[in-house]
Structure 1
Amino acid sequence: MTKKISKLALVCALILLTGGAAGASGDAKSAVDPVAPAPAEEVKELTISLRNPSSTKVEEVPLFSEKYSQTPVAMVNGEPITLEEFADRLVAMHSDAEQPGTQEKKNYLTLLNRMIGIKLVVQEAVNIGLDQTSASQQQMEDFALKTLIKQLVGRQLQNMEADPQKVEEIYKQMALEAKLTSYKFSSQADAQALLDQHKAGGDFSKLAQAMVKSGKAEGGEKTEEYIKLKDLLPSVAQAVFAMKIGGVSEIFQTDKGFQLFKLEDRRPYDDPEARSQATQMVLQQQVGEKQAKYLKELEDKYATMNKEAEQSLDFEKIMQEKPGAKAAEVFAPLRTDQRPLATIKNNGGTTVITVAEIVKELEATFYHGTDQPIAPKETNTKKDAIIQNKLLKIIGPLEARIQGVDQSKQYLNALKGFREKMLFDAFISKAVLPGVKVSQAEARAYYNENIGEYSTPLMLKLKSLAFSDEKNAQDALKKLKAGSDFKWVSANVAGLVAEDDPRMLNFGGNLLAVTALPADLQKTVDQARPGDTYLYKDPGNLFYVLVVESAFAPQAKSYDEVQNEAAKIVYGRKIKEALDEYERKLKEVYETEIFIVNGNN
């Protein structure tokens, strides 16, 4: 089944790599087997003060200690929240913090109370039977299947590293820069004439310069500047990559006309980002190849395909024999075909996938009915995907259980976490959301209280003078406040910075939103009016004299424009309030006990 196994790999890849391409982090395992983020070094050293549940003894315990991992930090109606669960949640909460470890102790009890609230809600969801609904059970079954397969294949991809030779080959193609001599034309005919003369043997540079002198072309200036291929338009970059040094391009159309260029030189440059991308590309390819090989081995181990039955589902062949046949006509004899298409054997027995099963699922994909001709290639693709999905759902779990994946801590923790989230969401939908309503009056009240959030910012048009020292800036400011003309001041003061000074901030000429200005300047000009003058010192140690040429006050959007947005915010707040109230009541009914001592918060 060589043709089909590649599609099996593709189907598996879709399941395994949901949410990210393989190797995206440089770790093939992480691409198929997501785990909680690892604690930062600073966090690893954190300890927590815990009271022994059976005594009053308080012990300082390392947060990330295998020895204490199952020690309860709280009991919720007889169910523990372990130190391991608490530490994992703490790391996840602070994985994006700029300085890990600085706020953890302050947040211990806040986080733990949140976890207790979730636990209580989940327990209540179970009490009212939300875990027994068909929808919940189907969600759990689907997640368990995907996770089992994901972790099974993930074991085969552990410790994979990108082939350094292949990385280098791709990197050398990605990290290139070129020196180009470009010519721009307003007329395509002129560009074509130059290109034709060059192809006929003429010297491109001389011919191009002649066109520049005649006014038919622009450009041709010699420069030592190199431009990175990744900064060029894709079509131009592809041409530069393929050209020989000294070669002349074809004509490219631009926004302002047409362009020809000569490739003067091309060279590699050091680009860590490009090397990282090359590494990821190679690793992703290797992951895909290893997955395909492994899945082929699994199929050979467990499944036997019936070639005759496979041929009966070759819709390209069927449509060659019955041109124009409608789907209903083609499917009719296959709906009752009980021949085994695939037979999967294991120690516990045999599972058979029949032709009729495949056709039944295939018909369901014809959303507009089967009273239409079959598109043979498209139908074959759909059919292959259905077969591979069914094989994968049977073969994957068989091997996973043999390898003990279904009993692994990682798998069981994943199921536990998903179940908790699923039941929490189900409780919100069933018990909380139906009672939450937002009236027009509530939405309008929020709008009135937060009208600033629904207003355009103050818009200013500024004229500016930049100085290297404060004394000269103060002198200019004094003259302007005395009524001197801006142009006269700019021509008669000392200490102005050159216009091309790289430190200079560009304030002049354009209408600017106050929110686009430096944060400290925003506070200074938030009430600006035309004619106002200001002195501003920026972090680059330049001093600016600013004159407000025009100012446009903030304009509030009407309530009608933003009522849906305002209502959503009020709705979210009311959901939180309702949930908090549920949690408060549950804490009154169910016994909870916290073992983290107060000194941790």
Structure 2
Amino acid sequence: MKKIICFMASLLLMTGTARAAEEVPAAPARAAEASLLTLKVPLFSPLFARVPVAKVNDEQITVEELEKALGMMHAGRTTESPGTRKDYAKVLQRLVTARLIVQEAEAMGMDGLAEVREPVSKFRETALRELLRYELVRDVKADEAEVERVYRMSSKEYRIRSLMFRTEADARAMAKAVEAGGGFEELARQARANKTARGQGDVETVRASELNSAIAAELANMKAGMVSRPVPVQPGFVLFKLEEERTVESAEAREAARQQVLTKKKHEALIEHNKKLSGKYLTFNMKRIESIDFAAPQTSMEKLLRDKRVLVQIKGERPVTVADLATVLDQQLYHGSKNAAKKKMNNRKRDVLEELVAKRLLLAEALRRGIDRTEEFKNKMKDYEDNLLFGLFVERVIKPDVKPTEEELKTYYEKHRNDYLLAAKVRFESLAFTGEKEAADALNKLKAGTELRWLRENAPGRAAAEEGTLLYSGDFVSIDELPASLREALADAHPGEFKLAGLPDGTAYVLAVQETKAPEPIPFQQLEEQIGQKLSEENIRKVLDTWTDKLKEGTEVTLYLTTAP
């Protein structure tokens, strides 16, 4: 069901005939203006996008603008309680505030400043090209057969057993043993015991889309029951057995496949359109383009930056000159070593020229199609300029008065110091084992009184001290910096206790807790900038509210929005 908002719409009531006008006395103008009807308007309906929900002086705030504000407010929220009601009136008040500030900025003449006019001019060209691209691919559809193919590939799921070997030779040796009739599980146990491999070798389920590209490529040529060749994956070589391959149906995966295919199709359509436009409107002076050598000893960059010779003629648009090309290259590359920069310019000149031409070509085509006269373009430009004006007003008028004093910063810190705590710390030693059983045996021995030092040297099943093995030797470590399983094991630990924790790679750890430190407040000096930013933002909101109240006094603000069921 579509969401509905209700608002009061002022309507001018008119009589249908001259006779009716004679029989019914005409109502005063004010009475006509005060005649109101309540309408129900669906949100996100193009039919009602331009309906006003408020008016600030002579400028309307429309349903479409309210929709955009609602979308921005809820962007990034992944969940929302079913009974949550959106506060439309509050959002509308923010829009009114923004409009009042923008109008005040215009009254101050800020819209004529270079800080506004220059970015607006650049954005105009960007917006025209963007809207043209949208128009060119608006009717492009995804090929359903290709969507199905991509979907089937991405929705594959594998059930595999795997081991990580330190050397390729060890991995190949096990692969040959499996080929000779050995069982993967038994050989995996032996490899762990010999400390040539890590991992449990248990069955795990993985999605094709989540796999390392080398492993995915190997799996593509395997059938259930087969063992892979050793695949190089840091920090060693993986050997795995494919137990099962299956396809998992997923609406999300299908939609992702559709978007992937559609994006590619649109890209191809744009390339084709560009080719057509190039053939129709462009003339390249290839001899002159090839003759420009930025690295030549006699080349003067200063002269090239003033060189008006034409490189590409664009029908109906100003041409691309040597100076245009040199200017872009100079901005991008002319720093550091001049000789090195000049060589880079030669390498980049074709790509940069193509970018320049493409921008000019698309801009000319957008103007030919009249995109600059569309409501969509005009609204886009107004939104952009309004945002610039609002930001400039805040920077120049609001911010100078909102910087908090050091006393205010320290007062806030003292009141909220428990909100800014360093994570708890723990000092412990660890023993790493190739499996949980071996680690559990060592834990029991420690609890029975065996010395940690002796177990470190003699306990069976110890993991080798290699890349990826976590070894802790009694230094303080922040709880937040530990892997999740170790954090959980040590969360409520006390000195003298022994804990057991395991990692997803199959390695198990015995942890000997020596000392713990409770969370401590972060020093003020480290938080001063963060607190200053927070207080400044709060002060900006307060001053904006004051300005809004002041501006409303001399402004005609009319709200039509009343309820939103």
- Give the TM-score, by structure 2 length: 0.69
In structure 1, give the amino acid aligned to 2:315.
K
Shift of 1:126: 0.9
* Alignment match, 2:143: 163
Q: CA deviation at 1:131?
A: 0.7
| Structure 2 residue aligned with 1:544 | none
Amino acid at match of 2:329: L
In the other structure, the counterpart of 2:545 is 580
1:416 aligns with 2:397: no
Candidates 35, 44, 60, aligned match of 1:57: 35
| Paired AA for residue 512 in structure 1 | A
- Per-residue CA deviation, residues 191-226 of structure 1 (Å, 9 max, x unaligned), is 34445778xxx6263699579669546799997765
Letter paired with 1:411: F
The alpha-carbon distance between structure 1 residues 131 and 243, as it changes in their structure 2 partners (threshold 3 A), is: same
| CA pair 457-55 structure 1, distance change in 2 beyond 3 A | farther
User: Helix, strand or coil for the counterpart of 2:314?
Assistant: strand
CA contact (8 A) 1:175 1:270 kept: yes
Matched, 1:143 2:109: no
Provide the residue aligned with 2:325 in structure 1: 358
Instruction: Quickly say closer, same or farther: Cα 1:206–1:555, change in 2 above 3 A.
Output: closer
Q: Deviation digits for residues 385-439 of structure 1, max 9, x if unmatched?
A: 4323432343223222222211212111111111111111111111111222211
* Amino acid aligned to 1:156: L
Contact 1:74/1:82, CA 8 A, preserved across alignment: yes
> Within 2, Cα distance between the matches of 1:145 and 1:173?
40
Contact 1:72 1:83 in 2 (8 A): yes
1:47 maps to amino acid: C
Letter in 2 for 1:131: D
Q: Match of 1:132?
A: 112
Partner of 1:502: none
Q: Distance in 2 between matches of 1:67 and 1:551?
A: 65
Alignment of 1:235-384 (within 5 A): 235-243=214-222, 246-250=226-230, 252=232, 259-313=238-292, 325=296, 329=299, 331=301, 334=304, 337-346=307-316, 351-368=318-335, 371-373=338-340, 376=343, 378-380=344-346, 382-384=348-350
**Residue 205 of structure 1 aligns to a residue in which SS?**
coil
Cα displacement string for residues 308-343 of structure 1 (whole angstroms, at most 9, x for unaligned residues): 122224x5xx87xxxxx56x7475775565432111
Q: Does the alignment pair 1:394 with 2:360?
A: yes
Alignment of 1:500-519 (within 5 A): 510-512=489-491
**What secondary structure is seen at the aligned counterpart in 1 of 2:534?**
helix
Aligned counterpart, 1:47: 6
- Cα pair distance change 1:552/1:57, threshold 3 Å: farther
Structure 1 window deviating more from structure 2 (150-159 vs 219-228): it is: 219-228
The number of aligned residues is 462
Rounded to whole Å, the distance in 2 between the matches of 1:173 and 1:599 is: 49
Matched AA of 2:421? S
Match for residue 528 of structure 2 among 563, 571, 581: 563
User: How big is the shift at 1:178?
Assistant: 3.2
1:47 and 1:271 map into 2 onto residues whose CA distance is 38
Matches of 2:104 and 2:487, distance apart in 1? 62
- Is 1:592 equivalent to 2:551 in the alignment? no
Instruction: Report the aligned-residue RMSD.
Output: 4.1
- Structure 1 residue 284 displacement after superposition: 1.6
The answer (yes or no) to whether the contact 2:161–2:204 under 8 Å persists in 1 is no
CA 1:343–1:511 in 2, change beyond 3 Å: closer, same or farther?
A: same
Query: Does the 8 Å contact 2:6/2:561 carry over to 1?
Result: no
1:227 positional shift: 4.0
Cα distance between partner residues in 2 of 1:572 and 1:331? 47
User: Deviations for 1:252-310, whole angstroms, at most 9, x for unmatched residues?
Assistant: 4666x754334455443334443333222222211111111112222222221112122
Q: Is residue 103 of structure 1 aligned with residue 82 of structure 2?
A: no
In the alignment, the residues of structure 2 paired with residue 227 and residue 212 of structure 1 have an alpha-carbon distance, to the nearest angstrom, of 22
CA distance in 2, matches of 1:276, 1:600: 32
CA contact (8 A) 1:458 1:513 kept: no
Question: Does 203-212 or 383-392 show the bigger shift?
Answer: 203-212
| Residue pair 2:175, 2:227 contacting (<8 A) in 1 also | no
Deviations 1:522-557 (A, max 9, x none): xxxxxxx99xxxxxxxxxxxxxxxxxxx99755322
Show structure 1 runs of 5+ residues with no match.
Answer: 1-40, 320-324, 461-505, 515-528, 531-549
Aligned residue type for 1:107: Y
Q: Is the Cα–Cα contact under 8 Å of residues 49 and 61 in structure 1 kept in the other structure?
A: yes
Gaps of 5+ in 2: 12-29, 427-484, 496-514
Distance 1:70 1:360, change over 3 A: closer
Residue 78, structure 1, aligned to residue 55, structure 2 = no
Within 2, Cα distance between the matches of 1:283 and 1:299?
24
Deviation at 1:154, TM superposition (A): 0.4
Q: 1:56 to 1:459 in 2, by over 3 A?
A: farther
User: Secondary structure of 2:220's partner?
Assistant: helix
Aligned to 1:524: none
Matches within 5 A, 1:185-264: 189-195=169-175, 203=180, 205=182, 216=194, 226-243=205-222, 246-250=226-230, 252=232, 259-264=238-243
1:427 and 2:393 matched:
yes
Q: Contact conserved, 2:153 with 2:208, CA < 8 A, in 1?
A: no
* Structure 1 residues 413 and 55: CA distance shift in structure 2, 3 A: same
- Secondary structure in 2 matching 1:406: helix
Contact 1:42 1:100 in 2 (8 A): no
Cα distance per residue 1:13-58 (max 9 Å; x no partner): xxxxxxxxxxxxxxxxxxxxxxxxxxxx441x33223455853222
Q: CA deviation at 1:60?
A: 0.6
Which 10-residue stretch deviates more, 413-422 or 209-218? 209-218
**1:536-580, Cα deviation, whole Å (9 max, x unpaired):** xxxxxxxxxxxxxx9975532222232221111111111111222
Structure 2 residue aligned with 1:152: 132
Question: Post-superposition shift, 1:135?
Answer: 2.2
- Cα distance, 1:89 vs structure 2: 3.6
**CA positional deviation for 1:170:** 2.6
Q: CA shift at 1:149, angstroms?
A: 1.0
Q: Is the 8 A contact 2:282 2:315 kept in 1?
A: yes
Amino acid at match of 2:409: A
Output one character per residue of 1:452-492: Cα deviation in whole Å (capped at 9) or x when no partner.
311357999xxxxxxxxxxxxxxxxxxxxxxxxxxxxxxxx
CA distance in 1, matches of 2:488, 2:385: 58
Aligned residues of 1:166 and 1:282 also touching (Cα < 8 A): yes
SS at match of 2:138: coil
Partner residue in 1 for 2:404:
438
